Amino acid sequence: MTAGIPLFGDEDRRIDAALDVENHNRTSVYNVPGYRPVRTELTHAPVRVTGTLPADLEGVYLRNGTNGYFDPTHLRLHAFNGAGMIHQVQITEGSATYSNFYVRTPRFDVEREAGREVFPGFADIAGGGRAALDKFRLLEEKVRAGLIPAFSPYELTPGSTSVRYHSGHVYCLQESGYAFVLDTRTEDGRLVMDGRGRLETWEGEWEGPFSAHPRFDPVTDDMYNLSLDQSGRILAGHITQGLRHSQAVVHQPDEAGRMGWLHDFFLTERYLVFADISLRNDPAGLLGPEGSVFHFDPEYTLRWGVLPRDFHDGDTVQWFTTGQASAVWHVINAWERTGADGSPEIVLFAPCFGSYPSTVPIHTPEEPPAQVKTWVLDVRRGTVTDERVLIDHGYERPSLNLGTVGSPSRYCYLLDEHGDGYMGKGVLKYDLIDEREIAYLDYGNMYGGEALFVPKADPRSEDDGYLLDLLMADDRADLIVIDAVEMVEVARLHLPQRVPFGVHATWLNRDDLADIEASFTRG
């Protein structure tokens, strides 16, 4: 150890005091039972079922989320702080098991060895102020002294935002870093994972972060990525059959500066469409009155960027400026059509926020309600010809039948955040074509994260399937199974322990599990 620079010492304690970590965490809007971690890891523990599990619902439900490995020491509380944890429910022949495990990224391994948090968290840049800069400086000194590995920013991912499956691989994703692919195998038909894996750069060919919401072509299963790197460049990627097919830099920061985030995007038949949001990112903001790199600019109206799916380095983004300043987290669906005058159009649907705080208090009462809106882009003229609010209530975290991505779809499923602001109090089935509410299911005294649509094996209609949502309470957790046609609960799986608040999930069907087994057998 280099003299004068202990791994943790007086300088760390001074910075913690300047960040007001103890007082902030005591009074934080995130200091509620739902955000407190669960540290017991279980493997295929039996699950009690009430109701009747559908005979055709067989597979594995996976949900990601943050789950601190340590009690907070130098990190200020936030939904994005902490190690990732996967919650796994496997359903087979009418019964189920539950497993959970930490996502063991390089960052996780270093912090576990150190016995406490080592690296900065999201709350440091979203409200940490000048003290956060001191924290970053001290971290650099420790790296130079050899006390901490010299990870690149992309290697520091906790892999904690979402979980996705593609071509035999399960990915833990957070858009600030590389994808993390889990080691997977099957034993007696059961999917077995323990959180170990590797950072995925596709043999060194991928340089930059990977989206939390890659998009998949429902016909070819090709995976598309749009992500925002540390310098504000937009990177595009196209991956087929688990191999890198292409990568390009498709946008450099311009006079408009850096967008706050690029969390989600649309995939249509010919285009990738993304939001340049009114929340901006400026590192100098840490020295400003809000102490955050983020600030919402009410004079900067939301604009949509359109790129060809067959992208190349230096492609020009076609921009479509809307009429309102807005922030966007998640999108619903988009498709192409021909306008009344023969002009090609793209119609978009997404929840958006008319303002957003600089501290990014997502999934709390301090987050403003979202409006579900639609826009129509005239591709020939480069204009927005229609911009309307469909629902002014507070719905977010949408899902739909992923087989309809990029084509006209009727149904989506929206989480209701209009209660106390923590997570979802129920789910709304909404008709995008007729622009009307179909049905609503209340979650009672539990909170939902995302109503994931799982189609039946031989569906008779777009909505012929199930919605799965992991419901959370202070002392318990249930996986609810909803008939998506009738919007009624058909079964509830009572998990053997509570689950902290979290959001994004995926479903692996029997074919996916067979591909995973084949990949493991091939080595």
Query: Would 1 be classed as within a structural domain?
Result: no
Distance, in Å, from the CA atom of 37 to the CA atom of 11, rounded to the nearest integer, reads 28
Distance, in Å, from the CA atom of 213 to the CA atom of 116, rounded to the nearest integer, reads 30
pLDDT category of residue 1 using cuts at 50, 70 and 90? very low
Q: What is the pLDDT of residues 165-219, one digit of tens each?
A: 999 999 999 999 999 999 999 888 899 999 999 999 988 888 899 999 999 999 9
C-beta separation of 78 from 117 below 8 A? no
User: Which of 456, 459, 401 lies closest to 432 in space, CA to CA?
Assistant: 401
pLDDT category of residue 10 using cuts at 50, 70 and 90? confident
Query: Would 5 be classed as within a structural domain?
Result: no
The residue with tokens 């949408």 is: 398
What are the tokens at 356?
A: 């957003």
In terms of residue numbers, what domain contains 179?
Answer: 10-522
C-beta separation of 135 from 73 below 8 A? no
Distance, in Å, from the CA atom of 238 to the CA atom of 242, rounded to the nearest integer, reads 10
Half-sphere exposure of 198 (CA within 13 A, CB side): 8
CATH number for the domain harbouring residue 362: 2.130.10.10
C-beta separation of 386 from 401 below 8 A? no
What are the tokens at 313?
A: 């380095």
Distance, in Å, from the CA atom of 38 to the CA atom of 498, rounded to the nearest integer, reads 7
Query: Would 34 be classed as within a structural domain?
Result: yes
The residue with tokens 């130098």 is: 74
CA distances to 4, 71, 136, 331, 466 from 118, rounded to whole Å, are 18, 13, 11, 34, 41
pLDDT above 70 covers a percentage of the chain that reads: 98
Looking at residue 114, its amino acid is A
Query: Would 26 be classed as within a structural domain?
Result: yes
Mean pLDDT of 451-480: 96
C-beta separation of 249 from 230 below 8 A? no
Q: Is the pLDDT of residue 164 over 60?
A: yes
Q: Is the pLDDT of residue 483 over 70?
A: yes
CA 45-50-55 angle, to 5 degrees, is: 85
Query: Would 126 be classed as within a structural domain?
Result: yes
CA 286-288-291 angle, to 5 degrees, is: 45
Q: What is the pLDDT of residues 19-29, one digit of tens each?
A: 888 888 889 99
Return the pLDDT at 520.
64
Q: What is the pLDDT of residues 369-379, one digit of tens each?
A: 999 999 999 99
Burial state string for 223-242 with b = 16 or more CB within 10 A and e = fewer than 16: bbbbbbbeebebbbbbbbee
Distance, in Å, from the CA atom of 449 to the CA atom of 292, rounded to the nearest integer, reads 27
C-beta separation of 131 from 123 below 8 A? no
Q: What is the pLDDT of residues 45-95, one digit of tens each?
A: 999 999 999 999 999 999 999 999 988 777 889 999 999 999 999 999 999
C-beta separation of 339 from 305 below 8 A? no
Half-sphere exposure of 81 (CA within 13 A, CB side): 26
Distance, in Å, from the CA atom of 509 to the CA atom of 372, rounded to the nearest integer, reads 30
Mean pLDDT of 310-325: 93
Q: Is the pLDDT of residue 117 over 80?
A: yes
pLDDT category of residue 2 using cuts at 50, 70 and 90? very low
Return the pLDDT at 246.
74
Neighbours of 154 (CB within 10 A): 20
Query: Would 491 be classed as within a structural domain?
Result: yes
Return the pLDDT at 244.
66
Mean pLDDT of 496-507: 97
Task: Kindly list the strands in the beta sheet with 243-251, ordered across the sheet, starting from the edge strand earlier in the chain.
Answer: 215-216, 223-228, 234-240, 243-251
C-beta separation of 178 from 470 below 8 A? no
C-beta separation of 366 from 313 below 8 A? no
Query: Would 478 be classed as within a structural domain?
Result: yes
Query: Per the structure, how many domains does the chain have?
Result: 1
Return the pLDDT at 521.
60
Query: Would 4 be classed as within a structural domain?
Result: no
C-beta separation of 500 from 38 below 8 A? yes
Distance, in Å, from the CA atom of 358 to the CA atom of 135, rounded to the nearest integer, reads 20
Q: Is the pLDDT of residue 248 over 90?
A: no
pLDDT category of residue 229 using cuts at 50, 70 and 90? very high
Distance, in Å, from the CA atom of 339 to the CA atom of 271, rounded to the nearest integer, reads 17
Q: Where are the beta strands (DSSP E) in 285-332?
A: 294-296, 303-308, 318-321
C-beta separation of 86 from 105 below 8 A? no
Mean pLDDT of 406-430: 95
User: Which of 307, 316, 306, 303 lies closest to 352 in space, CA to CA?
Assistant: 303
C-beta separation of 374 from 348 below 8 A? yes
